[in-house]
Structure 1
Amino acid sequence: MTTQIKITHTYNAPRDLVFKAFTESEHLKNWWGPKGWTFEVSKSDFRPGGVFHYSQKPADGNVMWVKFVYSEIIAPEKIVYTSFFSDKEGNTVRAPFDANWPMETLNTITFNEDEGKTTLTMIVAPVSPTEEEIKTFEDSKDMAREGHTGTLNELEEYLTKI
């Protein structure tokens, strides 16, 4: 069995708009990340081989840096990228919440439109994980699914405003 998390969310919005909200910094800054956290984009280069580097910070905690490296983009259908926690300079670091979280995850997001609604499917899987990282990923699936779902709910709210 493959170790992965799959999340599906349907938006009452056309695919082009959902895709733009997911890929353009001026939109992402308004909804990405946990509710109530500050979010800042350090670098946004949306193309295969490009990097998205950002920080997010809870009201009562430390700043966390995250970096994406895009490997495949088929607008407005699909985005594939690896994701990892980083420092301010973009160097890979261990996850701040669990030292055994996989160093890198592969994220595949597809956008399917049907009668003006868009169904987004996100699949997250660890890249070359150790046994301990697989165990941590498996044990953390509910937490990770909850976090991603919360973020996708933020997008739903944002889409009603644009």
Structure 2
Amino acid sequence: MTNNKMISRVENERFLVLERVYNMPRNELFQLFKEPEHLKRWWSTDGWEVTVCNVDFRPGGVWHYCMVCVDKNQEEYGMESWNKTIYKEIIEPEKIVYIDYFSDSEGNINESMPSPVVTLEFIDLGNQTKLISRSEFNSVESLQVVLDMGVLEGINQTWNKLNELVEKMNQGK
């Protein structure tokens, strides 16, 4: 059994690098990042759900989505968080490069918030895949803003949900 906890580090002051191994072949794991029906099952933090998920998975395409806090015990209960992703490069099943924006429900980008360029690499380990996320921020300060917002905890929760989906899908084989 592989230790599949998320590993995180900051490189060159502006890069947030995250890694985790999933017990799923690369081709299959990649599909979970491109299909809206899969993304809705795992892309959110604890107590939040994706309620809108529009994906145009191609270079230049947009993924516009909304997460809503559904946990009555959270201070943010009922709050919506809109995001817009613009895909820059897709090499299936090896890599996805995109710019990650905070947005509103119309897809207007919030220019006051950090918008990192994210590179997801899917490393083939046979029946497993190492996922490496490399987020490049335009400044040390913008990286610090998202760290202060709890990005590490949020991505860890999201990747835990992805792992739960992977394990569930593996049981169904």
Counterpart position of 2:151: 144
Distance 1:14 1:3, change over 3 A: same
Distance in 1, Cα, partners of 2:142 & 2:95: 28
In structure 1, the residue matched to 2:29 is: 18
Inter-partner Cα distance in structure 2 for 1:42 and 1:140: 22
2:81 maps to a residue whose letter is M
**Equivalences for residues 99-138 of structure 1 within 5 A:** 101-102=113-114, 104-126=115-137, 128-129=138-139, 134-138=140-144
Question: Partner of 2:61 in structure 1?
Answer: 50
1:40 Cα shift?
2.2
Q: Shift of residue 137 of structure 1?
A: 2.1
Gaps of at least 5 residues in structure 2 are: 1-11, 71-76
Q: Which runs of 5+ in 1 are unaligned?
A: none
List aligned pairs for 1:79-118, cutoff 5 A: 79-93=96-110, 101-102=113-114, 104-118=115-129
TM-score between both structures, scaled by the size of structure 1: 0.86
Contact 1:25-1:41 at 8 Å conserved across structures: no
1:10–1:120 Cα contact (<8 Å) kept: yes
| 2:36–2:53 contact (8 Å) kept in structure 1 | no
Aligned residue for 1:161?
Answer: 168
Q: Which moved more, 1:138-147 or 1:32-41?
A: 138-147
Q: Distance in 1 between the 2:102 and 2:44 partners? A: 14
Off by >3 Å, runs of 4+ in structure 1: none
Q: Which amino acid aligns with 2:147?
A: K
Per-residue deviation, 1:155: 0.3
Post-superposition CA distance 1:66-88 (Å, at most 9, x none):
00000000000000000111111
Aligned sequence identity (%): 38
Q: Report the count of equivalent residues.
A: 151
